[in-house]
Each structure stands twice: as structure tokens, then as C-alpha cells.
Amino acid sequence: MKTLLTVAAFAAGVSALSTGAQAQDCTTKIGATLPTSVDWGRPIAEVAQFAVDQVNEAGGAGGCQIEMVLRDTQVDPKVGVDAAKALVDLEGVNVLLGAVSSGVSMPILSSVTVPGGVMQMSCCSSSTAFTKLSEEGKTDGLWFRTFATTAVQSAMGAKVAADKGYGSVAILYKNDDWGQDMARLIAADFAAAGIKVTSSVAVNDGQPSYRAEVTKALGGEPEALYLALYPNEGTSAVREWLSLGGTQNMILANSLKSDEFRDNVGLQYLGNALGTDTASPRVASADAFKAAYVEKFGSEPNGPGLANSFDAAMIALLAMEAVGKDASGKDIAAAVAKVTDPDGTPVTADVAGFKKASETLAGGGTVKYQGATGDVRFDANGDVSAPAVVWKFTDSGVDEVEYLSLGEVDAFIASLKK
């Protein structure tokens, strides 16, 4: 991979020299609001920068080199909004990558990017509230996400419970847009699968103790616990749960796919825990991303949202390439369809693929992007579908327990509605 990228970079340099080095004469900024102050957030930002680096090796986007200006959201809505405002008002970005948490992405969308006419591309926000907002015409076509909605994770949580034979489940969920959406969906899916929900308890950030919430969740003597939390409050809640005699039968949302959570709780207490997540399809482009990631970072991409972050950045940059320098956020958003066209010219998610896309777009053609999560297709609301995976913690990270294709995911979701 290093050799390939080096050769591609050299080729890009030769091309730039022959055309007057147009891409080197200007720089275009894009913004990123991502939670770099938490351990699972830093790799998401690093992968976005990796995509930017490859595009710059290919000559940049829209005739300019790309600078990704990164701001930490701290998984806090107010901090995230302030960061986004600074990027839009002070840095002048027309593209914003982020955020991760739906509870941060939503206020950024409603108070910053839509009013400012900025395209927002999230790697990881999954709340179905965004779908509703788009259906109501309140996103102005500026919202996209490369992560499937909470409906997929919710259904997979119900499948895990059914497969394990759990008759009753308690729910602990983060008290924000994402957590509330997850709690609503998972309760309905558990019920559809014939599993009793003994309680559904909201958990707020930053509390010194979660004993009251955990005690309430234990009240119905559930056979298992479903957790839609982030690592900080998840760690505290699980410690309380176990100290009060709660079961080790746990089902985890992808937000807890974190070494920090595993280490702070203790692997010995997570032997019966199973997590769910969306997954990359079993296709060559996903394998190529994994190989490139290993080459770049020295380990496999085990954290949440990494493939999705790469695709979010790369698709946004392809759309910028399609419309050229100084395009508006609305123009860039409209061009997303040109670079994710099922009938377009297939391009890979690397330096060579971006150069091929540039040539195709310059000739009036469209592009079929094949990336880390496969052939990305957005619907009218900026949503995508995805396969799913069930995982468990190990000493070195996570292992896959079960993979479900997109067809299998759709079939199980349909079975819950019968």
C-alpha cells in the first residue's frame, strides 16, 4: 500500500506540474466536528483525515488542496454547536463532517448547517429523528449519513435476545436524541419478538452515581440488560448493576464497542455480553479499506464508525470535485447523487480511484463510489442501509459472532412487523 500510494502521489505530482500545479495554488477548508477527547472518537477523526490525505495525493478536490479543520465536540451538544458555528462563521466551510452522537448532530443540523446552507455528512448518527426531519422538508437536502439508522441496531438487539432465549429484558438508555430513539425502537422490537421489557430507564451524563437508575432497572428481575449508552456512563452503570447483583447477560449497542469500556468494566464480567453493529458488506472494496487501514495505522479497524467515517469524508470530497472550486454547500449536496450513482463508472476508494473519478466527472459522467462500506446508496432522506454483525469482547478487541447480510437484516426487520 505504501508503495502504491507513493507511486500515485508521484503521478499526481507529475500531472500537477504539467497543468501548472492548479491544485497547489489554493486550499479549500472543510470542517469536522468529532469527539476527539474520547478514546473511541479519535480514530474516527483520524480515518476522516486519512481520506483527506489520499484525496490531496490525487491532486485535491475542486482544483484545490483540502484542509480538514477539526473541532472536538466532547460528545456535548452545546460544545458541538459552538464548534460548528466557528467552522462555518469563522473558517467559512461549506462541508461539515460530523457529528457522531445524534444528540450532537441534531442541534448542529437545525441551528448551524441548515441555516448556513452547509452540507452535513455524518459517519455515525443513527437516530430516526433525522429521517422524520427530512421527510418534513426541514433539512433542505443538506443532510447525509453513512451509518444505518437505529432501526437496524434495534432489530439486531431483539434478534440476539430471541436467539439467546431471554424472556425478559431491562433497558438502560442515554437520555439524548439517540438514546431515546433507541429505547423506543428496542422496546417495540423486543415486544414484537415476544420478549417482556421489565423497565426502560433513562441515564443522564455526569452523575456521581447511577444507583437509583440501576435499582429501578433491577426491580423487574430481568433475565438480561440492554445498554444504549456511551462508555463513560456505561461503565458506571454496569459497575452499579453488577455490584447490586444484576445479571451478566448483556446486549450492547455499538456505542460500547470500546476498549475503554471493556477495560474499565473488566473482561471477566463481560463474558456473556454480546454487541450489535452495522457492518461492511463482504465485498472487495471493504477488504481493500481494511488492508489500507492496517497499513496506515498498524491494526485492524475494530472501533465503531471507522469505515463509515472514511466513506463520509471521501463521498463529500468527491461531491466537491464534481462541482468545482467555490461551490455552495447546496451545490455540493446536490452533487452527492453524481458520485453515488448505481449506473455510474465504478471507482475505488483510494488515490487511483479519486483520479479516475475526477476524469469521469470532468467528462460529464457520473461515478459509482465503491468504498469501505461497499456501494453507498443514499435514499431521498440521506439514509443508507447496511448489513449487521453481532460481536463479543476479547483480550485484543472484539470478535465477530455472526454476520447478517443486508437481505437477512431486512427479512428479520420485516418479521418483526408481522
How far apart are alpha carbons 111 and 108 in whole angstroms?
5
Each residue's pLDDT tens digit, 176-190: 889 999 999 999 999
Asked if residue 402 and residue 254 are part of one domain, the reply reads yes
Over residues 132-154, mean pLDDT: 95
Query: What is the domain range of residue 123?
Result: 2-147+282-375
Is 196 a member of any domain?
yes
Locate 6 and state its grid cell: 507513493
The verdict on 121 and 33 lying in the same domain is: yes
- pLDDT(5) > 80: no
Q: Give, as one character, the DSSP assignment of residue 329.
A: H
Mean pLDDT value of segment 202-208: 90
Q: What percent of the chain has pLDDT over 70?
A: 94
Compute the half-sphere exposure of residue 213: CA atoms within 13 Å on the CB side of its CA: 24
Point out the least confidently predicted range of 203-207, 221-225, 319-323. 203-207
CA 312 to CA 305: how far, in whole Å?
A: 10
Domain match, 124 and 220 both: no
Could you tell me which residues are beta bridge partners of residue 145?
A: 122
CA separation for the pair 144, 131 (Å, rounded): 10
Span 197-206, average pLDDT? 94
More confident residue, 317 or 177: 317
CA angle 54, 60, 65 (to 5 degrees): 110
User: Taking 50 as the threshold, does the pLDDT of residue 21 lie above it?
Assistant: no
Residues 268 and 287 in one domain: no
Q: Does one domain contain both 136 and 159?
A: no
The arithmetic mean of pLDDT across residues 82-108, rounded, is 97
Mean of the pLDDT values across residues 347-366?
A: 97
174, 229 Cβ separation under 8 angstroms: yes
Q: Are residues 303 and 401 in the same domain?
A: no
Please tell me whether residues 261 and 302 are part of one structural domain. Answer: no
The answer to whether residue 277 sits within a structural domain is no
H or E stretch including 186? helix 177-192
- DSSP strand pairing (119-122 vs 143-145): parallel
Q: Which of 125, 38, 30 lies closest to 73, judged by CA? A: 38
User: CA 406, 408, 411 angle in degrees (round to 5)?
Assistant: 110
Mean pLDDT of 95-104: 96
Q: What are the distances in angstroms from CA 283 to CA 280, 286, 299, 389, 400?
A: 8, 6, 20, 15, 17
Same domain, residue pair 81 and 15: yes
Coil, strand or helix at 229: coil
Residue 230 and residue 254 in contact, taking contact as beta carbons nearer than 8 Å: no
Of 276, 206, 217, 278, residue with least CA distance to 246: 217
What mean pLDDT value characterizes the chain? Answer: 92
Q: Is the pLDDT of residue 1 over 60?
A: no
What would the mean pLDDT of 64-87 be, rounded to a whole number? Answer: 97
Residue type for 269, please? Y
Share of the chain above pLDDT 90, in %: 84
Residue 109 shares a structural domain with residue 143: yes
- State pLDDT tens for residues 116-138: 999 999 999 999 999 999 999 99
The pLDDT of residue 360 is 98
Q: Is the pLDDT of residue 70 over 70?
A: yes
pLDDT at position 304, please?
86
Residue with cell 483510494: 350
100, pLDDT greater than 50: yes
Residues 317 and 187 in one domain: no
Q: Given this model, what pLDDT does residue 11 score?
A: 38
Query: What's the domain count of the chain?
Result: 2
Query: Does residue 398 lie within any of the structural domains?
Result: yes
Note whether residue 382 is domain-resident. no
The answer, yes or no, to whether residue 18 has pLDDT greater than 80, is no
Residue 380 lies in a domain: no
Question: pLDDT at position 13, please?
Answer: 40
Q: In terms of domains, do 175 and 302 share one?
A: no
82 exposure class (CB count in 10 Å sphere: 0-12, 13-18, 19+):
middle
- Rounded to an integer, the average pLDDT of 301-305 is 87
Q: Summarize the confidence of residues 241-251 as an average pLDDT.
A: 98
β-strand 168-174 against 274-278: which pairing, if any? unpaired
Q: What is the mean pLDDT of residues 55-76?
A: 97
Supply the CATH number for residue 231's domain: 3.40.50.2300
Is 132 a member of any domain?
A: yes
Q: What are phi and psi of 349, to 5 degrees?
A: -95, 65
> Alpha-carbon distance 154 to 134, whole Å?
21
Query: What pLDDT is attached to residue 24?
Result: 56
Residue 14 confidence (pLDDT): 36
Is the CB of residue 257 less than 8 Å from the CB of residue 277?
yes
On whether both 321 and 290 belong to a single domain, the answer is yes
Q: Say which residue, 87 or 18, is predicted with more confidence.
A: 87
Report residue 209 as a C-alpha cell: 452515581
Count Cα neighbours of 91 within 13 Å in the Cβ-side half-sphere. Answer: 25
